[in-house]
Amino acid sequence: MSGVENSSRRDRSGGFKDLLWGLGVALSLIAVEVALGTLSGEAPAPSQADRRAEYRRELRTYIVGFVLAILLTLVPYGLLYWSVLSRFGLLLAIGAFALVQGAVHLRCFLHINPPRQNTDDLDLVVFTSFVVFLMAGGTIWILGNLAARMH
């Protein structure tokens, strides 16, 4: 849309600076947090080696999830900002990245892990997705049909 193109042409350098700034914030946050993690002394007593390994594994999951999420955020914003794709392609990409990032959140932050997950919880997520699909999809289909017939 013209608004975005104008702004990107006008302050491309300014926009790029914003992006770098944002990245810098994110990276320093990661650095701070990893540092805090190892320095805060919250790692368990050395005698429980298994527990320590588990702690490191969980910490890594969070960090990996965070980094992935940042990347999966940066790319769609970037794709919009630099207008590289057609409108349809852009929408598809945005949707795809959103779904993947949602999955990353579910896996890394919410620890929903299909192979090992308790069936009750997985059933619930699957059924909810099914209902969401019916309700949102149905609404869009029906109202879209009505809108088309009223033009």
Partner 1 sequence: MNGATILHFVFGRLGFHWLPFWDMLQEPTKAHIVNDSIATFAASLVLFGGALTVLLITWFRAWGPLWSKWLTSVDHKRIGIMYIVLSFVMLARALVEAALMRGQQAFGYGGGFLSADHFGQLFSTHGTIMIFFMAMPFLTGVINFVMPQQIGARDVSFPVMNSVSLGLTAAGAMLVMISLVIGKFSTGGWSGYPPYTENTFQPGVGPDYWIWAVTLSSVASMMTGINFAVTIYKRRAPGMSFFRLPLFTWTALCTSILMIFAMPPLTVATALLALDRYLGFHFFTNHLGGNMMNYANLFWLFGHPEVYILILPAFGVYSEVFSTFSGKTLYGYVSLVIATMSIAVMSFWVWLHHFFTMGQGPAVNAVFGTATMLIGIPTGVKVYDWMLTMYRGRVRFTVPLVYALGFIMLFVIGGLSGIILANPSVDYQVHNTLFLVAHFHNMLVPGLLFGMLAAYHFWFPKAFGFRLNERWGMASALCWIIGFMLAFFPLYALGLLGYPRRSLGYFDPIYTPYMEVAFAGAWVILAAFACLFIQLFVSVRRRREYAVPAGDPWDGRSLEWSLPAPPPEYNFSVLPQVTGRDAFTRQKEDGTAYQLPKKFSDIEMPKNSAMGMITCVGGFLMAFALVWHMWWLLILGSIGVIGAMIGRGFARDTEKIIPAREVEREHKRWLNEVAATSPVTREREIDPANVGLAAHPLMQAAE
Partner 2 sequence: MSVVALKHPGLNLGPSDRETELKTEELLFGFWVFVMSDAIVFSVLFATYEIMRHSTAGGPGPAELYDIKSVFIETLALLSSSFTYGMASLSLKYGSSRRPLILWLCLTLTLAVIFLGLEAHDFITMFHKGGPPTRSGYLSAFFSLVPLHGLHVTTGSIWMIAMIVQIMVYGVDKEVKLGLLRLGIFWHFLDIVWIAIFSVVYLGGLA
Residues that bind partner 1 (CB under 8 A): 120, 127-128, 130-131, 134-135, 138-139, 141-143, 145-146, 149-150
- Closest approach, Cβ 140 to partner 1, in A, equals 10
Count CB neighbours of 79 within 10 A.
16
Q: Answer yes or no: are the C-beta atoms of 40 and 32 closer than 8 Å.
A: no
Residue 114 interacts with partner 2 (CB under 8 A): yes or no: no
Residue 68 interacts with partner 2 (CB under 8 A): yes or no: no
- Closest approach, Cβ 98 to partner 2, in A, equals 4
Interior angle at CA 64, CA 61 and CA 70, nearest 5: 135
Residue 136 interacts with partner 2 (CB under 8 A): yes or no: yes
d(CA 122, CA 113): 9
Residue type, position 2, single letter: S
- Closest approach, Cβ 62 to partner 1, in A, equals 26
Place of tokens 């090992």: 116
Q: Which of 36, 42, 40 is nearest to 55 (CA)?
A: 42
- Closest approach, Cβ 112 to partner 1, in A, equals 17
d(CA 120, CA 125): 9
d(CA 25, CA 30): 9
Tokens of 48: 């429980």
106: partner contacted, choices partner 2, partner 1, none (Cβ within 5-8 A by kind): partner 2
Binding site for partner 2 (CB under 8 A): 1-4, 15, 18, 22, 25-26, 29, 33, 36-37, 40, 42-44, 48, 50-51, 54-55, 58-59, 62, 65-66, 69-70, 73, 76-77, 80-81, 87, 90-91, 94-95, 97-98, 101-102, 105-106, 109-113, 116-118, 120-121, 124-125, 128, 131-132, 135-136, 139-140, 143-144, 147
